[in-house]
Structure 1
Amino acid sequence: MRVSDYKGRLIYAKGTYVEFVVAPGQDVDFGDILVVEGKSGDRFYIRSYDFKVKSRWSGINNVGYLMNKLDGEGKVENQEELEFYLGGNHTVKIGMAEQLCYADAESRLFNPKTCPDFFCEVRGLSAADTALLAEMKGDLEIGFLKSGRGVLELPVGIYGSKAITEHIGIFGTTGSGKSNLVKVLAGSVIDNGNYGMLVFDVHNEYYRDLARHPGVKDRLAVYNANPQAEYARRLTLSYGEVGPEDITACATFTEPQFDAIYKLSSVLAENWVRDVLQYDTADIVDELKASTGQKFQSPTISKIKSVCWNVKNELNIEEGGQSVVGDMMAELEQGKVVLVELKNVSPVGELALSTLLSKKLLGHYAAKTETDRRAVKPVLIVLEEAHRFLGRKEHSSNNVFARLVSEARKFNLGLCVVDQQPRLLADKVLSQLNTLFILGLASKADRGKLEAMCRKDILQQRNEIKNLDCGEMVVATNYMRFAAPVKVHKFEDYLGRCHGVMG
């Protein structure tokens, strides 16, 4: 072991709490992951979260004695005398840490069940700690392990087979690195080949970078309602694919309007949107009264007609038109990344399209037999600004994203919610996210919400999370024994490292 790996000696342990003396000349920071070398060949992995300084003069009487060496203004009267009292190795820095897990002499990893002995050696993490690193590596690489202010070139990722179907949350303020993280995740999915990924690209920001990936020709498909470039295929839908929840998702409706939408879809059947647009308002009112015995007001029907007209034009819904939904489903189950660009689509069309495609994918996978489902790839749906779909008011049983959160894992589907303000999401949604990527969050309320909902105990990482820089995050997932600090690859660095593609 190099001399620089040595960090200090353990001086106190109780349960999972430990204290160690930091060796002179060594730096230990908030969030550093360290190793305590046990006396029987076992290793205890700890994370520092606070510090204190102690001296032989720390007692109140001794401090008073030192204060007598200062003049009335608090200045040193005799520097040489003061240096005599403070000289030598009388001051120590003590690190306070929590035990994360430990490995026995055979390198088998366990949750904390005992504590190390007094004065055991404390060192930095190294490539020799294979048991811990294997659990954190994953098959979808996202970055390098971060330890304090340093970044270790030890790859960290998630196992898609464990994380995708149990849902993912990506949370961080503007500029914290959320978009870059989604790009790296998409790049790893392209490289891996065992998963599909449906990304609703609100700002049309992903293709420019993903296009540099060597695998995009075979493993990336891009759709746009009004494509301006050859790389994107024109998005088209048929009337029969539009359901009532697609309409209710994209605007605010009163109770009578909400009721009328579902009545119309029931009475007019498959092509109800086409009929709503073709028939006069008065004729629709009469038809509903004759079929249901309910008389709706003309303004109620007019509002529905207006929203349906907007959706029809934004999403290229045409009579007898060719729909691309079937092709999307096939591409996803083959393990491709499908980008749906939404920058030139209004909020109404964006909400309708996100709901419609997610509903179609859920229905497509749910209809498969167990045998057929094993033959297709698990798919992750990436939903940006997720509070618009899964906020406290929006979360309801008829919301397709609420159904995805509660049911999708049975059908090999998963949801990745991306948001700046996790406190706006419904608690039921947050509680179902078994993997959290926590980037920089300025709001104490947001950090507190994640602390309460996270499956791993991240309370001791408050200082670390509060001070995360752009591209730094804490990963908390069910199968890892602790929440890991990670420096996310810049997408161009990821391409350079994995494929030799220069920026």
Structure 2
Amino acid sequence: MQEYKGRLTLAKGTYVEFVVAPDEDVDFGDILAVEGKNDDIFYIRVYDFKVKSRWSDLKGVGYLMSKLDGEGKAENQEELDFYLGGNHTVKVGMAEQLCYANANGDLFNPKTCPDFFCEVRALRKEDAILLAELKGDLEIGLLKSGRAIMDLPVGIYGNKTIGEHIGVFGTTGSGKSNLVKVLAGSIATNGNYGVLIFDVHNEYHNALIQHPRAKEKVFIYHTGESNGYAKQLKLDYSQLSIEAIVSCANFTEPQLDALFKLSTVWQDKWLEYILNYEVEDIIEALKEETGQKFQSRTISKIKSICWNLKQELNINGYEEDVLKEIINKLETGNIVLVEMKEISNLGEYALSTLLSQALLHYYTCKTEVEREKTKTVLIVLEEAHRFLGKKSHANNNIFAQLVSEARKFNLGMCVIDQQPRLLADQVLSQLNTLFILGLASKADRSKLESMSRKDILKQRNEIKNLDCGEMIAATNYMRFAAPVKVYKYEDYLEHLSH
């Protein structure tokens, strides 16, 4: 690849144009350097092109058209080639200035612009200053410039992103699962953060147990029997909260009223009592305690849902506190994977709500001094629109609370979805880091453009043409949204061994 790419012909604010050198390839998304005066170097990103010619005006076009016959073919091809070739036509790159470096190697946001006819070139190794803030302590891939993948690692700083919420968006097959594996693997390598992954499709354990630190950093739980790689998740009656019950099914007003009355009257033993007593006995007990008589179908609906959850989530009077064990693993900087493929939507909603609620409660009860010694935890939530859609968010469930409040308590959300437009605006506005993979829908791309903390409007063409495993990483502390080729998880593990 040639280093020389062309010459600057226009600069206005952060907008620049340059003439592309003959026979040189420049692509959408290419990051290039402009050699300024006084050893300043301006970094630009190409977002569009246009072709200009001395024949571009209507008079010139009319003259060229006169050289064609009725079928649009050249009457004299050699003469036409003369008019169209040589210095008569140029390709112009349209770009935005990202930042610039002075002679001392200090990096600045755009505050000035390069001079006319400065040289435009490809990046060199000495341009690594540009990536100083893109490296981070959690490596996820390599810098992408146009069609080229550069040998320059890109990552995020966990202390600036994990507690500030992350959004991962892309259509099916764009590489979301691979990205989560790489991010979790990088966190396991680092050891300074905890991750709770609700694995809806049981697609992560085979990958994560291949990590060189898996035995000490990766812990897997599921509702089935314990086996060689996963431990059985068991819950005590007292651990299933009313909020977890409410989250997993649609209840009428009388049913909700009965639920809260039950928990008020019997407190921690409400679930055990409702499972062990007959419907009529429960109705009489509530009438005696509250003076209110509920219909049998109201109590029957509650009893039925509670019985189903008992079977799915292994709820019983256990002495072993698996919930406490999970929280301990997380706060000491480990990966906890909760597999949910074998349970219904009912159990999935209740379990994810229960674990998230317990984690939030545990962290909010800590003092400032205790919190400083605790690892920040990232909660990974797939198909997030089910929990954080416009209607769900309005109900102020535990995940809505986490998005709006958790950052104060060293907790962060990683929201994963195929259709970001389905998420509540209040949720998207709280995501300080966006990982944007391939999105087919213009509505989804437009939603992220309006909600991103970084201006990604000029990257429309680039985002529209992202291949599998390619993404735009936009986060608060970076000067610009970076194009990244995410490691394949297998390549990431091989990369660790070198």
What is the CA–CA distance in structure 1 between the aligned matches of 2:357 and 2:20, rounded to whole Å? 55
2:316 is the alignment partner of 1:337: no
- In the alignment, which residue of structure 1 is the partner of 2:486? 488
Contact kept? 2:235, 2:318, Cα under 8 Å: no
Give the superposition deviation at 1:86: 2.7
2:303 is the alignment partner of 1:305: yes
Cα RMSD (Å): 1.4
Give the superposition deviation at 1:82: 1.8
What is the CA–CA distance in structure 1 between the aligned matches of 2:214 and 2:236, rounded to whole Å? 28
- In the alignment, which residue of structure 2 is the partner of 1:168? 166
Moved over 4 A (4+): none
What is the CA–CA distance in structure 2 between the aligned matches of 1:351 and 1:14, rounded to whole Å? 53
Give the superposition deviation at 1:397: 5.9
Give the superposition deviation at 1:321: 4.6
- In the alignment, which residue of structure 1 is the partner of 2:368? 370
The equivalences for 1:33-432 within 5 A come to 33-227=31-225, 229-396=227-394, 398-432=396-430
Identity of aligned residues (%): 68
- In the alignment, which residue of structure 2 is the partner of 1:470? 468
Give the superposition deviation at 1:286: 2.8
Contact kept? 2:181, 2:489, Cα under 8 Å: yes
What is the CA–CA distance in structure 2 between the aligned matches of 1:385 and 1:322, rounded to whole Å? 31
User: In structure 1, the residue corresponding to 2:472 is in which secondary structure?
Assistant: strand
What is the CA–CA distance in structure 2 between the aligned matches of 1:194 and 1:425, rounded to whole Å? 30
The residue type equivalent to 2:193 in the other structure is Y
User: In structure 2, the residue corresponding to 1:128 is in which secondary structure?
Assistant: helix
Give the superposition deviation at 1:101: 1.4
Contact kept? 1:237, 1:321, Cα under 8 Å: no
Contact kept? 1:237, 1:324, Cα under 8 Å: yes
User: In structure 1, the residue corresponding to 2:403 is in which secondary structure?
Assistant: helix
What is the CA–CA distance in structure 2 between the aligned matches of 1:461 and 1:267, rounded to whole Å? 58
- In the alignment, which residue of structure 2 is the partner of 1:440? 438
2:5 is the alignment partner of 1:4: no
Query: Relative to structure 2, which stretch is displaced further, 79-88 or 20-29?
Result: 79-88
The residue type equivalent to 2:103 in the other structure is A
Contact kept? 2:234, 2:318, Cα under 8 Å: no
What is the CA–CA distance in structure 2 between the aligned matches of 1:316 and 1:133, rounded to whole Å? 49
What is the CA–CA distance in structure 2 between the aligned matches of 1:255 and 1:109, rounded to whole Å? 59
2:497 is aligned, of 465, 476, 499, to: 499
What 5-or-longer segments of structure 1 have no aligned partner?
none
Query: Relative to structure 2, which stretch is displaced further, 25-34 or 250-259?
Result: 250-259
Contact kept? 1:436, 1:476, Cα under 8 Å: yes
The residue type equivalent to 1:185 in the other structure is L
User: In structure 2, the residue corresponding to 1:146 is in which secondary structure?
Assistant: strand
The residue type equivalent to 2:274 in the other structure is V
Give the superposition deviation at 1:481: 1.0
Kindly provide the CA deviation profile for residues 220-264 of structure 1, in whole angstroms up to 9, marking residues without a partner as x: 101011047311011101111111110011112222222322222
The residue type equivalent to 1:106 in the other structure is N
Give the superposition deviation at 1:415: 0.5
Contact kept? 1:172, 1:178, Cα under 8 Å: yes
Give the superposition deviation at 1:364: 1.0
What is the CA–CA distance in structure 1 between the aligned matches of 2:442 and 2:283, rounded to whole Å? 51
Kindly provide the CA deviation profile for residues 259-281 of structure 1, in whole angstroms up to 9, marking residues without a partner as x: 32222212210121111111222
What is the CA–CA distance in structure 1 between the aligned matches of 2:151 and 2:62, rounded to whole Å? 48
Contact kept? 1:145, 1:485, Cα under 8 Å: yes
User: In structure 2, the residue corresponding to 1:205 is in which secondary structure?
Assistant: coil
The residue type equivalent to 1:314 in the other structure is E
User: In structure 2, the residue corresponding to 1:309 is in which secondary structure?
Assistant: helix
What is the CA–CA distance in structure 2 between the aligned matches of 1:82 and 1:446, rounded to whole Å? 45
Kindly provide the CA deviation profile for residues 113-162 of structure 1, in whole angstroms up to 9, marking residues without a partner as x: 11111111111123212322010001001100111111111111110000
Could you tell me the TM-score, scaled by structure 1's length? 0.96
The residue type equivalent to 1:91 in the other structure is T
The residue type equivalent to 1:315 in the other structure is L
Judging changes above 3 Å, is the alpha-carbon distance between structure 1 residues 72 and 219 closer, same or farther for their aligned structure 2 residues? Answer: same
Give the superposition deviation at 1:36: 1.2
The residue type equivalent to 1:226 in the other structure is G
User: In structure 1, the residue corresponding to 2:267 is in which secondary structure?
Assistant: coil
Judging changes above 3 Å, is the alpha-carbon distance between structure 1 residues 321 and 303 closer, same or farther for their aligned structure 2 residues? Answer: farther
How many residues align? The count is 498
Query: Relative to structure 2, which stretch is displaced further, 477-486 or 294-303?
Result: 294-303
Could you tell me the TM-score, scaled by structure 2's length? 0.97
The residue type equivalent to 1:301 in the other structure is I
Contact kept? 1:45, 1:101, Cα under 8 Å: yes
